[in-house]
């Protein structure tokens, strides 16, 4: 009798579940960080645009 063959499918399922959970969490973190970076860039672009506008009007 080989015990590992009986246990193996469950272990594989658990491993796949853990891997999917880790990758899912990583994707969420990545999306959130990219989103926040995007917001920061939009803010800095607005500031840059305002600076250019004020320079062009004063010049």
In the block, tokens 């246990």 appear at 7
CA distances from 24 to 11, 19, 28, 52 (A): 20, 8, 6, 42
* Domain ranges for the chain: 31-59
Question: Radius of gyration over alpha carbons of the chain, in Å?
Answer: 26
Overall pTM surpassing 0.75 (yes/no)? no
In the block, tokens 């990219």 appear at 34
In the block, tokens 């860039």 appear at 41
Q: What pLDDT, on the 0 to 100 scale, is given for residue 6?
A: 59
CA dihedral (41, 43, 48, 52) in degrees, to 10, reads: 140
The one-digit pLDDT tens for each residue of the chain (59 residues) are: 455 555 677 888 899 999 998 889 889 998 999 999 899 999 999 999 999 888 877 65
């Amino acid at each position: 009798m080989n015990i590992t063959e009986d246990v193996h499918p469950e272990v594989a399922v658990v491993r796949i579940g853990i891997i999917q959970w880790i990758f899912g969490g990583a994707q969420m973190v990545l999306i959130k960080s990219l989103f926040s970076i995007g917001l920061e860039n939009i803010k800095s672009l607005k500031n840059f645009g305002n600076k250019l506008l004020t320079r062009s009007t004063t010049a």
